[in-house]
Amino acid sequence: MVQACYDQLAVHRLERKSFIVALGGGVVGDLAGFVAATYLRGIAFVQVPTTLLAQVDSSVGGKVGVNLKAGKNLVGAFYQPRLVACDLDTIKTLPDREFRAGLAEVIKYGIIYDAHLFTQIERDLPKLLKREPKMLATVVARCCEIKAEVVGLDETDGGPRAILNFGHTIGHAIENISGYGKFLHGEAIAMGQVAAAKLSREILGLHARDIGRIENLFRRAGLPVRIRLNAMRRQKLLHAMRLDKKVSGGEIKFVLAEKIGKVVWNQRVPEHVIQGALAEIVNRQSSIENSK
């Protein structure tokens, strides 16, 4: 697809001063941004994200790229769009499952950065699920603000930007072992965030009440908080976590929550604690069924 895009740009004789508009979800945004970053050594581009996930997450922050057979996002760049224009009308046609998956990232911003946002989502979730424009506008704008603030502190990763990965180490591993496609990204990170909350209890003493609120909000948003895994697949999950690109020096580092609204990154977690948290998100009855 990258090659086909370059060819079209050449046919239409785009110049240094031309620009590309990425109209679509995160896949289109990442691809168009990558093409813009590399064509003629970089031409301007504009993000017009049309999914909730793309509006609150992938369109902001400048990470662009494409997948290889060997893995996701292996080729890419940090390349900022000149403008991100979120037209909330586009959300009207988004399938329900995609919308709910986007909410997993929205809820994440509450957990990692903004306790007030979290409380607001708890209170106004029914309106949000009805996609009321006023509600959507407030929430989408706040999420973009948070992402921009965090990326502003650390554009190219390695520092505070890591907090955006709350729930993602486990979430990515879930996507990986289920063969990408069974769960949407948002669904996988909903389970990942619940597991990360349990790890946070063990390592940082996150209060049981906060864990309950987190789990409950994902549930109310129609997102999975439990996964069916037998012992063998649980091992596979651990193995996949070790292969995650956030692993350095063989150690898995986690983003953990002290309380709703405040997280810390670069946290080491002993393997038996990870095992324990995974056991808690496993749907026991089905894990027995699965292992039969």
Ligand X SMILES: NC(=O)c1ccc[n+]([C@@H]2O[C@H](COP(=O)([O-])OP(=O)(O)OC[C@H]3O[C@@H](n4cnc5c(N)ncnc54)[C@H](O)[C@@H]3O)[C@@H](O)[C@H]2O)c1
Q: Is 57 in the site for ligand X (CB under 6 A)?
A: yes
Instruction: Confirm or reject binding of residue 51 to ligand X (CB under 6 A).
Output: yes
Q: Which of 63, 108, 201, 253 binds ligand X (CB under 6 A)?
A: 63
Nearer residue to ligand X within complex by CB, 189 or 257 = 189
User: Helix or strand or coil: residue 224?
Assistant: coil
3-state secondary structure of 166: coil
Strand extents, DSSP E, 138-282: 253-259, 262-268
Nearest to 227 by CA among 192, 197, 186, 255: 192
Q: Is 88 in the site for ligand X (CB under 6 A)?
A: no
Helix, coil or strand: residue 103: helix
Is 101 within 8 Å of 186 (Cβ atoms)? yes
What tokens does 119 get?
Answer: 């409380």
Told to check if 22 binds ligand X by CB under 6 A, we report no
One residue of 80, 90, 165, 287 binding ligand X per CB under 6 A: 90
Name the minimum Å distance from CB 82 to ligand X. 16
Size of the site for ligand X (CB under 6 A): 19
Among 20, 22, 24, 189, the residue binding ligand X under the rule CB under 6 A is 24
SS3 72: strand
- Listed ranges 22-30, 39-47, 175-183, 197-205: which one lies at the site for ligand X (CB under 6 A): 22-30
- Binding flag, residue 81, ligand X (CB under 6 A): no
Query: Smallest Cα–Cα separation from 113: which of 149, 86, 137?
Result: 149
Counting contacts by CB under 6 A, is residue 114 touching ligand X?
no
Tokens of 134: 């006023």
Interface residues with ligand X (CB under 6 A) are: 24-28, 30, 50-51, 53-54, 57-58, 61, 63, 90, 93-94, 98, 185
